[in-house]
Structure formats: structure tokens, C-alpha cells
Amino acid sequence: MEQRIGSKSQPLDAAAVDPAYVPGLTSPVPAEPAEAVEDAEAEAEEVAAEEAAPEEAASEQEDTEGEPEAEASEESEESEEVEEAETDPDGPVFEASDRRASIKADHSGVQLRLDDQQAEFRWDEIGAVETESPRFGKRFTITVHTPDRRWYPIEIEAASRARFKDWENQLDAVLDAYFEEETDGDDDAE
């Protein structure tokens, strides 16, 4: 499914305009002047030196006082616990994958992957999630719709058609837990 906005006419093939055109090849990027490269390297060294200075001062201060060291370790343990809680909630998680594609829906949103391409959507970026089971075949389609009228379909090949029902139920549980649809009262207020 292609999403096109504007004219329905097909663009000219590049080979019709440029006989040297070879599909898949990109034009070479012009080299940056040596001065620009040197300036960028100098800026990177300055930033690294500025970042290292506060760390050295903090380590000297911790060596002189024993209590801040204990407090720092407690704070780091607490931050690790918060990160673990964010990455591993108690709520439902839906995961499905095959050799090329995968989908994961959890508390943070929906992540789609196809080969080397990946798209991540937070729950507030999603307008709807649609599933489709084919009448024949074993390709389960999940489409994520965004509020700006874009859609992102992904097909997962199941080992058997019986998996479709399980996947539907698991995805429904995640959507019920995390996805909040706008109520009719919000539409009336506008």
C-alpha cells in the first residue's frame, strides 16, 4: 500500500532523463573543506574536556567525604530500580514475530520491525490499531493508524491459523490496558 499525496501521475524514470543513472547508486557526497573538519574536531575535544572536569571534581569530593559516596550508591540503586520498572511493567505485553517481521506492544507503545526498518509509536501517537486475519493463508496483518492519516501495516506469518485467535486476544488485552480512545464528550466540547 502506497500513500501518495498530490498528483497521481508517475514521475519520469531517472534513466529517461540521465543516461548514466544506475538504480540503487547514489551520487558521491562532496568532501568537506579541511578547515571545517579541524574546527569540528577542536569543538569535540573542548566538549570532552568540559565533561571530564566535573567528573574529576565530583570524584575528588567523594574521596574526601564518606557519606556522599554511600548516598550516591543508594541513588544509583534507586535509579536502576526505576529503569527496571519502566522496562518491565506488570501489565500485558503482546509480541509476535516471524523470520522477517516483528511487533511488540507494551506499556511504552507499539514497535514494528521489518527486516532492517523499525518504527516506534507511543500510545499518544496512535489513532487506531487494526488487525486482519486472511480467509486463506497464514499472514496476520496488523496496521497502526496515526492521527495524521498515515498507516503502517505489518504482516506476520504464523505457524498455524490457530495462532491468529491467540494473537487477537493478547493484542486486545494490551490495547484495553494502555490505549485510551477519545470519548464522545471530547468531540462535543470542540
Q: Are residues 68 and 98 in the same domain?
A: no
Q: Summarize pLDDT for 96-121 with one digit per residue, the tens.
A: 999 999 999 999 999 999 999 999 99
Q: How far apart are CA 97 and CA 130, in angstroms?
A: 17
Q: How far apart are CA 167 and CA 141, in angstroms?
A: 11
Q: Summarize pLDDT for 121-136 with one digit per residue, the tens.
A: 999 999 999 999 888 8
Contacts of 170 (CB under 8 A, 6+ apart): 92, 94
pTM of the model: 0.50
Amino acid at 72: A
Domain finish residue from 87, 114, 131: 87
Residue 3 is predicted with a pLDDT of 66
Q: Are residues 75 and 111 in the same domain?
A: no
Q: Summarize pLDDT for 78-102 with one digit per residue, the tens.
A: 444 444 445 556 789 999 999 999 9
In three-state secondary structure terms, 140 is strand
Q: How many domains does the chain have?
A: 2
**Pair 154, 171: CB distance under 8 Å:** no
Q: Which stretch of DSSP H or E encloses residue 101?
A: strand 101-106
156: exposed, middle or buried (Cβ count in 10 Å: 0-12, 13-18, 19+): buried
> Phi then psi for 151, rounded to 5 degrees?
-135, 150
State the CATH number of the domain containing residue 152. Answer: 2.30.29.30
Q: Are residues 124 and 82 in the same domain?
A: no
